A = this chain, B = another copy of it.
Amino acid sequence: MDVLNPYPTLVLDETKAKTNIQVMAQKVSKSGIAFRPHFKTHQSREIGNWFNRYNIDGITVSSLDMAKYFAEDGWQSITIAFPVNILEAPEINKLSASIDLRILVVDKSTITKLDQAISHSLGVYIELDPDYARSGVSFRDFELIKELISAIEGSQHLALKGFYCHAGHSYRSRSSEQIMEMAIPIIKQLEKLKAHFPYPICYGDTPSCSVLEDFGSIDQLSPGNFVFYDWIQTQIGSCIPDQVAVAMYCPVVAKYTERKELLIHGGAVHFSKDFDTLENGSLYFGQVVEQNQSGWSSPLEGCYLKSISQEHGIVSCTDKFFENTRIGDHVAILPIHSCLTADLMGGYMTLQGNLQPDHFSGQKFK
């Protein structure tokens, strides 16, 4: 790496991220599906523009503010993949005057209230719950779905865009086979649903989208994390470590010989506190990778981010890695959950040392 910051830095391997985008875009295109990629992971206008070379139908974001951020950058069709917050109706109405804005609805009373609160046409997806139990209407409850469709069709300003379905329980998988086992019955149920309700279906968790080859009757895909991937995705079975496009570069500030641990500047305000679990049941917060001339390559077995507090990180090491690492070096660590790390870091540095601060939560970036 050409340039190293003296402080914790999110480093992006642009080639890996561009390849991740290309692979997903080609898969989507080959399947004859529309691509509405989620921008909540990268949150970056620069990376957003990398999608322009592919045939995309629009984009997906996770909040109204994020929609505004990307609308300002010229994006014309944006889904806020979150059940509409009725308190935000005035702002939603304002934004929908200038772009093809789409939101999610999950209950009838909100549909009625929303319709009364707005004056511009607004696209809505009915959010379906594929037994994940986070949000949405059960994708088996055809009666309720029918009621919601009627409410939308009877409304003055709402235009039904179809169904939105996020199978977030794919994150509980620990192999690509497990992802398939979870996803295939969902795809089948969505086919049944479509036989009853012939509206477009948008689907989108990164594990399913990475592993599935046959998307059945799905019409649109909206994964987001795949642009960067992260260490948990390697454990879920979505990708291999070499596909992870971001690493945190953290300065080593102390070495503790007896416990073979490094103290780094890099804590919960940088990584977030998402974790994975070691075989012995202990939590860990990131995976150390081997640095090379062009960035980083393989995970270093036995070297991981053992604990984090606000600014401190403790890296557990093998004897060899401990010996080879000096105070003042940087340790490269794949974050457990790149969405939260990227949100906290608010920008990134490329392997060539270029800073890219134009990021939705980018104000902490320096």
Contacts and interface: CB of A to CB of B under 8 A. Distances in A.
A309 B6 contact: no
A42 interface: no
Interface stretch (A19-27, A183-191, A248-256): A248-256
Contacts of A361: 269, 363-364
A14 B254 CA distance: 39
A51 interface: no
A305 interface: no
Given A263-B135, A272-B273, A106 B344 contact: no
- Chain A, interface size: which category? 35 or more
Give the most central of A83, A85, A263: most B CB within 10 Å.
Answer: A85
A276 interface: no
Given A263-B83, A340-B268, A343-B269, A327 B107 contact: yes
A134 interface: yes
Contact of A273 (B134, B265, B340): B340
A133 interface: yes
A107 B366 CA distance: 29
A196 interface: no
A298 interface: no
A360 to B, nearest CB: 9
Contacts of A87: 6-7, 251, 328
A354 interface: no
Given A82-B265, A328-B86, A40 B310 contact: yes
A326 B361 CA distance: 30
A318 interface: no
Contact of A62 (B85, B310, B362): B310
A91 interface: yes
Nearest to A81: B311
Contact of A86 (B83, B311, B327): B327
A87 B329 CA distance: 9
Contacts of A255: 107
Interface in A87-140: 87-88, 91, 106-107, 109-110, 113, 133-135
A230 to B, nearest CB: 13
Contact of A134 (B82, B263, B268, B346): B263
A268 B272 contact: yes
Nearest to A364: B361
A91 B327 contact: no
Give the most central of A64, A253, A364: most B CB within 10 Å.
Answer: A253
A179 B315 CA distance: 27
7 contacts: A6-B88, A7-B65, A83-B253, A85-B265, A107-B254, A110-B253, A361-B364
Interface of A: 6-7, 40, 62-65, 82-88, 91, 106-107, 109-110, 113, 133-135, 168, 251, 253-256, 259, 263, 265, 268-269, 272-275, 307, 309-312, 314, 327-328, 339-340, 343-344, 346, 361-364, 366
